Structure 1
Amino acid sequence: MDDPTRRSGRVWFITGAGRGLGRAFAQSALDAGDHVVAATRTTAVLDDLAARAGERLLVLPLDVTDREAVFTAVDTAVRHFGHLDIVVNNAGILVVGMVEEFTEAEARAQLETNFLGALWVSQAVVPVLRAQGSGHIVQISSIGGLGGFPTTGLYSASKFALEGMSEALAMEVAPHGVRLTIVQPGGYWTDLYRGMRSTTPLEAYAPLRAELADQLAENSVDSQPRLAAEALMKVVDSDDPPLRVVFGSMVYDLAFELTRQRMRTWAGWEDVSRAAEHAVPEPVGASHAGGGQDTT
């Protein structure tokens, strides 16, 4: 499974490659002998890596919220290296705060980077991978993609949106030989936390914030980004990569616990759930709603 000959010459396109997990992914790919397109807002942070990697590394300035710039960057990458093999949507920001506290600008910033940015990159690379008949898209989600938690509601919203879009995309591109994996990492020592933004706190949530601070001090577990990079290499080297995978023991255990909780709740309300649906002939003039909301 770990055949250096097979891996030689692969081309990676990694967003958010200037720091944290993105940089670790880029370093790991270069160490494996691959080529990397490292897209980042600040290119200077990769000068040291570029000096060592030489022609195998192409550093591009990119703000993933700019759809036109994303398509231009992907086109530049393909013209430079000739093809793409692995695309890692890693760029993201963290805005923390209670849902009530978010301004419109803060909410939009969270969703435009973490969800729309990944959507634009996915849309830009799919035609390339589809034409090749091969490729692997890796969507970096989060523990926040497993559930919503106090102060990370909008972050989770961005990751839930990313995962829903990605599940559909995986089924759409599979017939064209393109694979997709959603990665849900736990905590890592990255600049995500140092660069995170916070809402203006409301006094009403002060007790909850104090409780959360105590829990974080007792239970925080963070790892070196290189461990996530090693895990990602195993995923992309696999002949049968998963649709979804978690990185880290804590997030692994949480995934199972949250699923069990949901299953218990669903089972407890089974009678109500089943009574809410009963097939009837289509009324005259009606259209099939498909389970959607009535917008009238």
Structure 2
Amino acid sequence: MIIKRNLFDKDEDYHTVVTIGTFDGVHVGHRKIIDKLVTNGKANKLRSTILTFFPHPRMVLQQATDLKLLNTLDEKIAILEKSGLDQLIIHPFTKEFSRMSAEQFVKEVLVEHINAKKVIIGYDHRFGRNRTATIDDLVNFGEKYDFEVEQITAEEVDEVSVSSTKIRKALKEGDIETANAFLGYSYMLSGVVARGRGIGRDLGFATANIHIEEQYKLIPKEGVYVVRTFYRGKLVYGMMNIGFNPTVQGRERTIEVHLFDFNENLYGEAIRVELLERLRDEQKFDSIEKLKLQLEKDKKVSLAHIDRLHAD
């Protein structure tokens, strides 16, 4: 997959079939659209292309600092690389860019820089300055500038919208099973391992404290989860706590992962953890000893879940 960080970087002549969107989560609804895009590209010898924007337009136009997304940009790229897509264009979104007229966007972006011969887009898509242009305008521009427009049906658009809403709701409620079903993969958290307080090690459950730089990343409900990660090509399972560690007077929310049968030093390393199942809420125990006993139970339940995965 070719990745371009600016749509105005044009290095060769080719024709594309393109769709436009944020594709946050790249969930099962999105992938139906992407499959349609990829299939169309192969059938018509066009480069299948997604045009997306970063930062998210709402972050720029509405300064929506509370906006939470399902993927970091790197996570989205990693998922899309497995989709069969030919090209991903991630264009920097600015207020200046948002002021382009609809025809200017079509002429300069879709035609001159992306070389679109076909655009696959939602029936309710709006574009151009103040989002005043509709798909009917896009069809008219297509006739003028020689590209075809294929509409994504209301049913397909609704499926994407409903899926995104259900995923966010499920994650906030700790329903990782539902979230993963709609995503079509295990929800992930990516970050760099930072030094913690060392309490887990003292309990016999050494943890990797994951620092997530992207403030916009949606963190699931606090609690204990069964997880897995890949370290140097090896699959490693473990359990993770998201929360405030109330038993030991924690003051900040942390994301701490204990990996089973693992003793490598991870400090400073990037790690991506996939959430498989939620075990329980975070609890405050009367003593450190009771906390340790619960961690032993959590490990036993986690290993049983992992065994079931292998059996399936």
TM-score (normalised: structure 2): 0.30
Of Structure 1 and Structure 2, the greater helix share is in 1
- Bigger CA radius of gyration: 2
